[in-house]
């Protein structure tokens, strides 16, 4: 039985057959009885009766049936092939089909499996279209090998770009997009000369016209190409890069094919699969969603684009949060200074665009890094708008686990006070030593408050890390650049302001540090400034953020921070390759 016969049980079929047989025999017998009774009634002689009986059609029919049954008995049916006996066994079992058999039956009879089986049969019988006309018997000696490529285009783009040779007007495949339709076919390669598309010659046509032809083709596209004489097999290993700038192909007039372009934003992780072209690379965004790559400008291309943009719109490329010359750490006096300085700087800047370092390196090569247990902990940097709660979160973390988390001890030129201990609250240093450290770039941040200098030094951070602790600092965003060092391998967490409603709701009873004596409640102006600054930092520095925590509920934010820090120290993370083995 075929798949579709699984439902009918063999016993019911046999019963049906027997019924047909019995109906025939009873007909024959009733005709025998009829003939005999007729002969008796007619009172004919015995020999005549015998002759009539023996020549009666019913007797012949009975004898035929008898012969058939005897033959059937001699040749009792047996399976022709061993697999057929297995099949028979299965069929017998199918009298009461098991749950598996029923499931198999359902699966096999589903439309897509039926379609798959039918496709398989077509392929197995080479039953596919179009049937190409046979090659002429006699080909000229100098005839170039022509390849006829048939692609079935669905909604996806073709996945190849073309270029025109200016002198000859020939149209060539310029590049094949990784994972795209053309690439998967394995039949079109960069450098192949396109002679015809769907039977129409393309030689001498403008590339736009060819693209139009291709775009308007639905279903099958038939290419006639002369393959490039030497095929270049590209076996490039993917390179992973962090985008340090934003890019939108639809706004880029220089891209060879905007449809093949891939947009990305600062901070996106890109898997660059092809760098063979000096101007246009091919990449996928990670975590990988698309099966095919997109075109992105090469690093040199992006650099020249940004230079060009700078000359056209120089006002857009200044930084809205400039590197600070005199900003301080996290003690109360530092933070007071920070608040006032922040306001001043915010007023003078209105725009937000990539910094100069992003322009010089639009992509940063990264690799996965897993910290080994014997290695130093990574530096944890918290970044956030003033008032968002960076200091509060940091204090809570340290309080929660003082043997694990620690902040660096700041330096100051102010005299030591009663109850203070050198190296505990501050490193108390002379003004000369402080200035010497400034000249030698030893401070991540420093500033002046009430004629005294305060600063957070790289050495103080190092000290904490070397003691085996996890150093947690909060710095103003420009400080990130100074801390991106191989030995510190900083992990940056952005503390983002919650939605405007949640911000106002959660900070109803919070106090803002405004002076040594007075902590006042948040005003509407504070909220607006906080939201504004939070968005600005996010937009300008997101390429450096490894994680983001929204500080809505303090307890939740603190817990989230703990688990992110744990992951940062113990799970593989993407870091710049220069932190693994390169120069700092
Ligand atoms: N999620 C929160 N819910 C309620 N209050 C909060 C929350 N986060 C912080 N606060 C409170 O907001 C105030 C400002 O926080 P904090 O001093 O940590 O700000 P900051 O980001 O360090 O800014 P600055 O550098 O200006 O001090 C503090 O009183 C703090 O307790």
535 in the same domain as 459: no
Is 21 a member of any domain? Answer: no
CATH code for the domain in which residue 430 is found: 3.30.63.10
Q: Is 510 in the pocket of ligand 1 (CB under 6 A)?
A: yes
Residue 232 has a pLDDT of 61
Top-confidence residue, 319 or 85: 85
pLDDT in tens, 431-466: 999 999 999 989 988 888 788 888 899 999 999 999
* Atom from ligand 1 closest to the CA of residue 498: 1
Residue 317 has a pLDDT of 39
Compute the 3-state secondary structure of the chain and give helix, strand, coil in percent, each to the nearest 5: 40, 20, 40
- 3-state class (DSSP) for residue 176: strand
What number is the average pLDDT over the span 124-140? 65
Is 29 a member of any domain? Answer: no
52: exposed, middle or buried (C-beta count within 10 Å: 0-12, 13-18, 19+)?
middle
What number is the average pLDDT over the span 113-131? 73
Residue 351 has a pLDDT of 39
From the CB of residue 102, how many other CB atoms can be counted at a distance below 10 Å? 13
Distance 463 CA to ligand 1 centre (A): 27
Distance 554 CA to ligand 1 centre (A): 9
426 in the same domain as 411: yes
Mean pLDDT estimate for the chain: 80
Residue of minimum CA distance from atom 2 in ligand 1 = 554
* Atom from ligand 1 closest to the CA of residue 339: 26
157 in the same domain as 219: yes
Q: Is 394 in the pocket of ligand 1 (CB under 6 A)?
A: no
From the CB of residue 459, how many other CB atoms can be counted at a distance below 10 Å? 13
Is 488 a member of any domain? Answer: yes
**Lowest pLDDT segment from 162-166, 307-311, 461-465:** 307-311
Confidence at 209, pLDDT banded by 50, 70, 90: confident
Residue of minimum CA distance from atom 10 in ligand 1 = 389
Highest mean pLDDT pick, 130-139, 168-177, 388-397, 440-449: 388-397
Distance 564 CA to ligand 1 centre (A): 20
pLDDT in tens, 58-106: 888 888 888 888 877 777 666 555 565 566 666 666 667 778 878 888 8
Question: Final residue of a domain: which of 468, 492, 522?
Answer: 468
Distance 551 CA to ligand 1 centre (A): 9
421 in the same domain as 284: no
385 in the same domain as 244: no
Confidence at 2, pLDDT banded by 50, 70, 90: very low
Distance CA 520, CA 509 (A): 10
Indicate the top mutation candidate among 327, 346, 385, 392 to test ligand 1's pocket, ranked by most ligand atoms within 8 A of CB.
Answer: 392
Range of the domain at 565: 375-401+469-576
Confidence at 348, pLDDT banded by 50, 70, 90: very low
Residue of minimum CA distance from atom 16 in ligand 1 = 389
Q: Is 387 in the pocket of ligand 1 (CB under 6 A)?
A: yes
508 in the same domain as 394: yes
Residue 5 has a pLDDT of 34
CATH code for the domain in which residue 488 is found: 3.40.50.300
* Atom from ligand 1 closest to the CA of residue 385: 21
Residue 326 has a pLDDT of 33
CA distances from 256 to 164, 291, 432, 502, 566 (A): 12, 21, 59, 46, 45
| Residue whose structure tokens are 């798959």 | 116
Distance 462 CA to ligand 1 centre (A): 27
pLDDT at 507 over 50: yes
Is 108 a member of any domain? Answer: no
Indicate the top mutation candidate among 345, 391, 550 to test ligand 1's pocket, ranked by most ligand atoms within 8 A of CB.
Answer: 391
Q: Is 496 in the pocket of ligand 1 (CB under 6 A)?
A: no
| Residue whose structure tokens are 């230079």 | 307
Structure-token pair, residue 322: 């400039």
Question: Final residue of a domain: which of 449, 468, 487?
Answer: 468
Q: Is 506 in the pocket of ligand 1 (CB under 6 A)?
A: yes
Is 117 a member of any domain? Answer: no
Distance 95 CA to ligand 1 centre (A): 76
What number is the average pLDDT over the span 109-126? 78
Highest mean pLDDT pick, 183-187, 288-292, 312-316: 183-187
Is 92 a member of any domain? Answer: no
Asked if residues 416 and 578 have their Cβ atoms less than 8 Å apart, the reply is no
pLDDT at 314 over 60: no
Residue 327 has a pLDDT of 33
Residue of minimum CA distance from atom 15 in ligand 1 = 389
260 in the same domain as 380: no
Distance 5 CA to ligand 1 centre (A): 75
Q: Is 388 in the pocket of ligand 1 (CB under 6 A)?
A: yes
Q: SS3 sequence, 520-561?
A: EECCHHHHHHHHHHHHHHHHHHHHHCCEEEECCCHHHHHHHH
pLDDT in tens, 525-536: 989 989 999 999
* Atom from ligand 1 closest to the CA of residue 395: 18
503 in the same domain as 461: no
The alpha carbon of residue 389 and the mean position of all alpha carbons in its chain are separated, in whole angstroms, by 34
Highest mean pLDDT pick, 311-320, 392-401, 445-454: 392-401
Closest C-alpha to 296, from 171, 175, 158: 175
Residue 346 has a pLDDT of 45
* Atom from ligand 1 closest to the CA of residue 389: 18
CATH code for the domain in which residue 281 is found: 2.30.30.40
pLDDT at 185 over 70: yes
Top-confidence residue, 289 or 115: 115
546 in the same domain as 448: no
pLDDT at 288 over 60: yes
553 in the same domain as 479: yes
Is 63 a member of any domain? Answer: no
Indicate the top mutation candidate among 334, 510, 550 to test ligand 1's pocket, ranked by most ligand atoms within 8 A of CB.
Answer: 510
Structure-token pair, residue 2: 């075929």
pLDDT at 389 over 80: yes
Burial 163-187 (b: 16+ CB within 10 A, else e): ebeeeeebbbbbbbbbbbbbbebeb
564 in the same domain as 503: yes
Question: Final residue of a domain: which of 414, 437, 468?
Answer: 468
Q: Is 384 in the pocket of ligand 1 (CB under 6 A)?
A: yes
pLDDT at 323 over 50: no
Strand order in the sheet with 363-369: 294-297, 280-286, 269-274, 239-243, 363-369, 573-576
Confidence at 112, pLDDT banded by 50, 70, 90: confident
Distance 548 CA to ligand 1 centre (A): 17
Q: Is 338 in the pocket of ligand 1 (CB under 6 A)?
A: yes
pLDDT in tens, 211-268: 887 777 777 888 888 888 766 666 678 899 999 988 998 888 888 778 888 999 999 9
Q: How many domains does the chain have?
A: 4
* Atom from ligand 1 closest to the CA of residue 557: 1
Top-confidence residue, 531 or 329: 531
Residue 230 has a pLDDT of 66
What percent of the chain lies above the pLDDT cut of 70?
Answer: 77
Distance 390 CA to ligand 1 centre (A): 6
Q: Is 511 in the pocket of ligand 1 (CB under 6 A)?
A: yes
Residue 181 has a pLDDT of 84
Is 392 a member of any domain? Answer: yes
523 in the same domain as 442: no
pLDDT at 360 over 50: yes
pLDDT in tens, 550-577: 999 999 999 999 999 999 999 999 999 9
ipTM: 0.97
Distance CA 566, CA 378 (A): 11
Residue 341 has a pLDDT of 55
């Amino acid at each position: 039985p075929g798949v579709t016969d699984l439902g009918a049980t063999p016993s019911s079929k046999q019963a049906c057959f027997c019924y047909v047989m019995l109906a025939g025999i009873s007909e024959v017998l009733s005709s025998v009885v009829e003939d005999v009774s007729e002969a008796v009634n007619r009172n004919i002689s015995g020999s005549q009766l015998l002759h009539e009986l023996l020549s009666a059609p019913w007797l012949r029919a009975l004898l035929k049936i008898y012969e058939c049954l005897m033959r059937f008995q001699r040749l009792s049916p047996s399976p022709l092939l061993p697999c057929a006996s297995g099949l028979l066994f299965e069929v017998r079992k199918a009298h009461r089909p098991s749950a598996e058999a029923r499931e198999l039956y359902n699966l096999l009879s589903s439309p897509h499996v039926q379609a798959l089986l039918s496709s398989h049969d077509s392929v197995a019988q080479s039953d596919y279209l179009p049937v190409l006309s046979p090659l002429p018997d006699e080909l000229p000696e100098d005839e170039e090998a022509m390849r006829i490529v048939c692609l079935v285009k669905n909604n996806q783009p073709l996945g190849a770009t073309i270029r025109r040779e200016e002198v000859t007007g020939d149209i060539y495949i310029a590049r094949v997009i990784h994972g795209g339709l053309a690439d998967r076919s394995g039949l079109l390669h960069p450098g192949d000369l396109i002679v015809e598309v769907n039977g129409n010659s393309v030689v001498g046509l403008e590339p736009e016209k060819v693209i139009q032809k291709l775009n308007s083709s639905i279903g099958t596209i038939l290419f006639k190409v002369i393959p490039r004489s030497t095929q270049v097999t590209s076996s490039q290993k993917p390179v992973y890069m962090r985008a340090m700038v934003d890019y939108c192909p639809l706004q880029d007039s220089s891209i060879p094919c905007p449809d093949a372009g891939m947009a990305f934003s600062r901070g996106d992780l890109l898997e660059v699969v092809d760098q063979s072209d000096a101007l246009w690379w091919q990449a996928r965004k990670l975590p990988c969603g698309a099966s095919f790559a997109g075109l992105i400008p090469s690093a040199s291309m992006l650099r020249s684009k940004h230079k060009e943009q700078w000359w056209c719109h120089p006002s857009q490329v200044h930084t809205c949060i400039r590197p600070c010359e005199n900003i301080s750490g996290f003690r109360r006096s530092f933070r007071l200074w920070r608040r006032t300085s922040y306001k001043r700087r915010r007023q003078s800047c209105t725009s937000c665009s990539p910094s100069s370092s992003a322009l010089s390196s639009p992509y940063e090569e990264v690799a996965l890094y897993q910290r080994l247990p014997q290695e130093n902990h990574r530096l944890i940097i918290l970044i956030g708008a003033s008032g968002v709660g960076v200091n509060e979160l940091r204090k809570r973390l340290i309080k929660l686990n003082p043997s694990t988390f620690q902040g660096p001890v700041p330096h100051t030129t102010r005299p030591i006070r009663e109850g203070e201990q050198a190296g505990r609250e501050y490193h108390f240093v002379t003004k000369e030593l402080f200035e010497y450290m400034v000249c030698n770039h030893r401070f991540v941040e420093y500033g002046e408050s009430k004629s005294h200098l305060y600063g957070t030094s790289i050495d103080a951070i190092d000290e904490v890390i070397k003691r085996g602790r996890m150093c947690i600092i909060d710095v103003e965003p420009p400080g990130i650049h100074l801390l991106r060092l191989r030995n510190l391998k900083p992990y940056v967490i952005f503390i983002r302001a919650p939605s405007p409603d949640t911000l106002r709701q959660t900070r109803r009873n919070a106090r803002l540090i405004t002076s040594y004596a007075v902590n006042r409640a948040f005003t509407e102006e504070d909220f607006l400034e906080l939201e504004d600054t939070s968005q600005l930092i996010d937009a300008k520095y997101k390429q450096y953020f490894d994680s983001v925590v929204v500080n809505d509920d303090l307890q939740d934010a603190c817990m989230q921070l703990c688990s992110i820090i744990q992951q940062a120290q113990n799970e593989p993370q993407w870091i710049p390759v220069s932190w693994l083995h390169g120069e700092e």
